[in-house]
Amino acid sequence: MQKQAAIVTGGGTGIGKSTSLLLASKGFKVVVNYSRSAKEAEETCAEIIKLGGEAIPYKANISDDKAVKEMAQKCSGMFGGIDVLVNNAGTTHFIEHNDLDALTDQVWDDIFSVNMKGTFYACRAVMPELKKSRGNIVNVTSVAGLAGNGSSIPYAMSKAALNCMTKSLAKAFAPEVRVNAVAPGPVLTRWLAPHPKMIEQSLSLTPLKRAATGDDIAAAIVFLATGTNLMTGQIIVVDGGRTM
Number of CB atoms found within 10 A of residue 50's CB: 8
The yes-or-no answer on residue 121 being catalytic is no
Strand ranges inside the chain, DSSP E: 5-8, 29-34, 54-59, 84-87, 136-140, 178-184, 235-238
**Quick check: helix, strand or coil at residue 112?**
helix
Instruction: Specify whether the CB–CB gap between 86 and 5 falls below 8 A.
Output: no
Give the Cα separation of 232 and 223 in Å (integer).
Answer: 12
- Closest C-alpha to 11, from 45, 52, 54, 53: 45
**Residue from 158, 113, 111 nearest 139 by CA:** 158
Please provide residue 12's backbone torsions phi and psi, each rounded to the nearest 5 degrees: -100, -10
CA 230, 170, 27, 38: dihedral to nearest 10 degrees? -150
- Catalytic residue, from 34, 58, 121, 155: name it: 155
Residues known to be catalytic: 155
